[in-house]
Homo-oligomer: A and B are copies of this chain.
Amino acid sequence: MPDSALASTLRLSVMRLARRMRAERADTSLSLSQLAALATLDRHGPLAPGELAAHEKVQPPSMTRLVASLEAAALVTRAAHPTDGRQVLLSVAPAGRALLQEDRRRRDAWLSGQLRGLDPADREVLQRAVGVLERLASS
């Protein structure tokens, strides 16, 4: 199989699987943007709105609105910056952390179930492929 054919089939299968997994969380009350911002805040620890906007590749005004909705849902809290009065520090509230864990658990539950239905040989193939996929994604 030449690279071009492998590229086409790999692209299609990855895109389809991503779409399938995304569909598996259709019942969450948060939008993907809100969930992504919350997850980033959880990974990086407390961030200012501007920094969070930069991480999420949205403009500051968009992040203002996004954060306001997360705050209204009591998923993030805001605190004054210790030295710079202009800045604000956002943190994930306990309820936000719980929501993230629940969301991950639900998505992984579906995929885990699918994986259990595979031949051991197929699981072995996937396990070796994961590292390669990861390298492709970050290149």
State which of A3-11, A44-52, A94-102 sits at the interface with chain B. A3-11
Q: How far is the CB of A106 from chain B (nearest CB, A)?
A: 11
30 contacts between A and B (CB under 8 A): A3-B112, A3-B115, A6-B115, A6-B123, A6-B126, A7-B112, A8-B104, A10-B130, A10-B133, A11-B21, A11-B108, A12-B134, A14-B14, A14-B18, A14-B21, A17-B18, A17-B136, A17-B137, A18-B18, A111-B136, A114-B136, A115-B136, A118-B135, A122-B135, A125-B125, A125-B128, A125-B132, A126-B132, A128-B129, A129-B129
A15 at the interface (CB under 8 A from B): yes
Closest to A23 in B: B57
| A81 interface residue (CB < 8 Å to B) | no
The A contact surface, by secondary structure, is: helix
Decide yes or no whether A31 CB sits under 8 A from chain B. Answer: no
- Cβ-based interface call for A13 (8 A): yes
